[in-house]
A and B are shown apart, each in its own frame.
Chain A
């Protein structure tokens, strides 16, 4: 069924696409190791965050927190804000986004296009700082509705109810699920669902490694672990540097023709690492990984240019 009553109704059911060329060759006589890309850029505003945004707004409406004409507040450096902005526009809410000042220009343009108001937080400290500023604003403006994707169970539930079941339905033989670690909602929700179906499925986190500026926190107590995060739901966790992420996102484009955003490069890097281990061990694997969004919003970073290198990412939040 590809006909929907509205844009919102077309959420999810994104394609799972095989990567016949990027999947590593198995040793002779050994079972295949296959990579599968879950194309979350095919959501209404082009990212996996449409699932989170719609679930959080639905939940806030159901519980009565969100009333007609209300103002929604959210710390985001892009996709969640874009998703919320679309739903807010369609349903008649206002949106205030708190965003690190060094995010790419396209993200500001897109948010403003959908009518969101942007409040910038200092680049140093990255998302941690945006979360801190948003929490302050929430205290100062008690009439604003703070959905807070890092601690909102509706975020995890969205992936438990949609992303996880979709992957399992399309790939019942899935052995590994690899996704990015931000709010941790995708891994917590989809991971929990998949492990309930088959406890042997490995749930693998790929965490983008930021530039120096983000780790220059004022003190270590300013570190941040999202309230949704529960390490017991994860099997392994990788930190992927900018250079590896850029290399992989280009490979995805060059070898399979898929134009993905940069954080997908980090996820693919972890997926390929796991795939190689499986090949070396002579075991078969069906590795599903998340393509968070397409590359359009990151063109201005220059990473897709032939002559550019990953250094262009230094000093800007890229994931």
Chain B
């Protein structure tokens, strides 16, 4: 499923470990109305990236994705909606530091 023509362009921050898929780009962009569409659109541009983020159409356990700093797992996961100006950050799961 591809994003509709009117879908907003979303900026996505890519962690070091996934940059081999994005020609070393730190920030990439794609058009999408929700997170699922965004990952599909990203995978069209950067083949193989989608598989690193999803497993059986769910977010992988050690992948965290944030829309404007908020974890998408608490916003409907792949159904989380996106609007113009939203910023998406992908990060591997890491534990807290000094706690």
Contact = CB atoms under 8 A, between A and B. Distances in A.
Contacts of A221: 62
Interface stretch (B3-11, B28-36, B37-45, B88-96): B88-96
A4 B72 CA distance: 46
Contacts of A78: 97-98
A318 interface: yes
Nearest to B99: A182
A139 B48 CA distance: 37
B78 to A, nearest CB: 15
A215 B69 contact: no
B86 to A, nearest CB: 14
Interface string A86-116: 0000000000000010010001000000000
A289 to B, nearest CB: 15
A318 B93 CA distance: 17
Contacts of B93: 223-225
A103 B98 CA distance: 9
Nearest to B53: A220
Contacts of B71: 205, 207, 236-239
Given A215-B15, A219-B17, A220-B17, A182 B61 contact: no
Counting chain B CB atoms within 10 Å of each CB, which of A126, A220, A240 scores highest?
A: A220
Interface residues of B, number: 25
Given A223-B61, A237-B70, A238-B70, A216 B95 contact: no
A292 interface: yes
Which size class do A's interface residues fall under? Answer: 35 or more
B63 interface: yes
Contacts of A215: 15-17, 91-92, 94
Given A182-B95, A182-B99, A239-B91, A231 B73 contact: yes
A79 B60 CA distance: 31
A240 B96 contact: no
B99 A79 contact: yes
B92 A80 contact: no
A208 B95 CA distance: 10
A235 B70 CA distance: 11
A223 B95 CA distance: 8
A223 B89 CA distance: 16
Contact of B63 (A126, A222, A223): A223
A195 to B, nearest CB: 15
A25 to B, nearest CB: 24
24 contacts: A79-B98, A79-B99, A80-B98, A80-B99, A126-B95, A127-B94, A182-B95, A182-B99, A183-B96, A207-B71, A216-B17, A217-B17, A218-B17, A220-B63, A224-B62, A224-B93, A226-B95, A231-B73, A236-B70, A236-B74, A238-B66, A238-B70, A239-B91, A317-B98
In the complex, the 10 A-B pairs of residues with the closest C-beta atoms, listed nearest first: A182-B96, A223-B62, A182-B99, A78-B98, A237-B71, A223-B93, A77-B98, A223-B92, A216-B16, A127-B95
